[in-house]
Structure formats: C-alpha cells, structure tokens
Structure 1
Amino acid sequence: MLIQSVPSAEAPLDLLLEADPSLDAIKRYLEHSMCQVATIEGKTVGAYVIQSMGNGVCELMNIAVAPAYQGKGIGTKLLEHAVHMSRELGARRLELGTGTFGYQLAFYQRVGFRVVAVERNYFLTHYDEPIYENGIQHQDRLRLALEF
C-alpha cells in the first residue's frame, strides 16, 4: 500500500463522503488541509485529511476506507500515518471529532486517543440531514486527542 499526498482539488470526495456526509463541510476544510491517499495497485482504497490548527495542534478532519477494503488494517495504517505526519508538522497533539458511539470510537481509542470534551447537539446543529448508525441518531460529538 502506498500513502501519498494529493492536492486538495484531487481529493477523493466520494471516499471522504463515507466518513462525513456534508460535501460543503469537506470542501471547506480541504481548502486549508493536507490530504493523503492510500492506493493499492493504483486503486484508491483510503484517505485522510489533516489540518494544522496552530499552537502545536493538528486536527484529523476526515479518515475513510473504501467499504470493500474495510477490516483489513488499512484504517489503522492511515491513522498511524496521520499521527506520524502530524508530528512531522511539529504538532504535539492530534485532535479529532467523532460520534459518541460506534466502531469509530473504539478505533481511535485503540491507538491511544482520549476523550477531552463533549459537544452537545453537534450533529443536530451542523448537519442538514440526520445521521444514523445502527438505527441510532448521532446527536453529540466527542472531541478526542492524542498527545505526543
């Protein structure tokens, strides 16, 4: 698997939409972010987007793996790459936002991310359409952080 940087204009929007259903939000944060794409034999299988927030903090804005390639360790490799890239950018901390339940929470916690805040009603106020997972509507967003 090859992970390499691509210009924001070449970011795989269809893949990023797997993790964030708001195309407007994705386009907004891509303008000021770095996109890394994972390929296997020339096929895009995953991507992540990080943004430097200043003061030694980067934020993981999006991380996604194509459905056919999930469960094969690609997401973990992308997350580890994002941590490494953040360190190279001079960050001392990598932050992210995610739902309060679901496989994503355990995914981040396995790598060492810890909950640092709860943003009540985030998904209700920031998305036009409700977001459901396993029949449950996402309402609050957790802020997680990994200190280096």
Structure 2
Amino acid sequence: MSTEVFNLIRELNKDEEWPMELLLLADPSEKLVREYVSRGKCFIMKLDGINLGTYILIPTRPETVEIVNVAVNENYHGQGYGKQLVLHAIETAKREGYKTIEIGTGNSGVAQLALYQKCGFRMTSIDRDFFVRHYDELIFENGIQVIDMVRLSQDL
C-alpha cells in the first residue's frame, strides 16, 4: 500500500463536521448515515483541503468491526483511493485488536465487490431485500435495482 496516500487518512475529530457530501455518495439516506456515523469512527482522506474519501468503522459484535460506508469524491474515482481507504480500515481494525472485519454492498455494486475481494474479503451471505426494507425510494446502480445486500468478511 502507498504510505504517501495512507498518510492522508486520519480519524475525524469529534468537533469536525462529518463529510456528509461524501457519505451520501455511498448511502443515499441521510437519516441512516447520521444514525450509524454517531455509533462509529469516521475516517477522512484529505489532500490540500479537499475531501478525497471517507469510511466509517462500527463495532458490531465482540472482536468484530464493520466498514459501513466507503466513499470517494467523484472527481477522484479510478485513482486507487477507494482501495487505500479499505486497506486503511483493515489495518486500523487489526491495530485496534479486532479479529474479524465485515463489509456489505448492494447486489449491483460490481466494482465494489471486485475491490473488496482484491482486498482480501470473501462473500459470506446475502441479506435478501435489505434495500427494500430499509430505504423508502428505489435505488439503481449500473442500471440494476439495488435490492439485496451482499455481505463479505475477512479474518484479521
């Protein structure tokens, strides 16, 4: 992993505003985003005052943590920042003593599924109708309706 890029990522201070514009790229529900951000740790990737990306880690069970939102500024897609954010999350989870890290994405998230597997995650389950149960509006990505949550994890 690129140490130079890795050094651009830090935990958001408690007095700093959440990077809502980025968080809403990965999750269109501001209500849900506010709920889970308040339960976890938000990390930000910044360069020259620009928010390049973000992720959130939430403890879910003993020795288990979940990445619940990974987002990269749309102007910086395709430059490897998403991978750096995921790798940073994995390293952070290891450093904090977690034994398992989990992540989920919509059934239509082809690029996300590839990225997470390249970072060592394996598919573990499908939460059928997750996005139908938790979101009022229909969500489409890559021309596919987002219905199910594909769950992945890795042992640390």
Normalized against structure 2, the TM-score is what?
0.90
Give the Cα separation in 2 of the matches to 1:36 and 1:99: 22
The alignment partner of 1:116 has SS state of strand
**How well do the aligned residues superpose, as a CA RMSD in angstroms?**
1.2
**Corresponding residue for 1:145?**
153
* Mapped pair 1:47 → 2:37: no
> Shift of residue 70 of structure 1?
0.8
The alignment partner of 1:17 has SS state of helix
Corresponding residue to 1:36 among 43, 47, 51: 43
> Shift of residue 54 of structure 1?
3.3
After superposition, what is the alpha-carbon deviation per residue over 1:73-130, rounded to whole angstroms, capped at 9, x for unaligned?
Answer: 1111111000011111211111011112321111111111111111111111111111
**Corresponding residue for 2:139?**
131
Contiguous gaps of at least 5 residues in structure 1 = none
> Shift of residue 41 of structure 1?
1.6
Give the Cα separation in 2 of the matches to 1:124 and 1:19: 16
**Corresponding residue for 1:6?**
12
**Corresponding residue for 2:78?**
71
Is 97-106 or 64-73 further displaced after alignment? Answer: 97-106
Give the Cα separation in 1 of the matches to 2:95 and 2:18: 21
Identity among equivalent pairs (%): 37
Aligned positions of 1:57-136 closer than 5 A: 57-101=64-108, 102-136=110-144
Normalized against structure 1, the TM-score is what?
0.95
Give the number of aligned pairs: 148
> Shift of residue 52 of structure 1?
1.4
Give the Cα separation in 1 of the matches to 2:144 and 2:72: 22
The alignment partner of 2:26 has SS state of coil
Contiguous gaps of at least 5 residues in structure 2 = none
List structure 1 segments (4+ residues) > 3 angstroms apart after TM superposition: none
After superposition, what is the alpha-carbon deviation per residue over 1:1-33, rounded to whole angstroms, capped at 9, x for unaligned?
Answer: 411111365210010000011101110011110
The alignment partner of 2:94 has SS state of helix
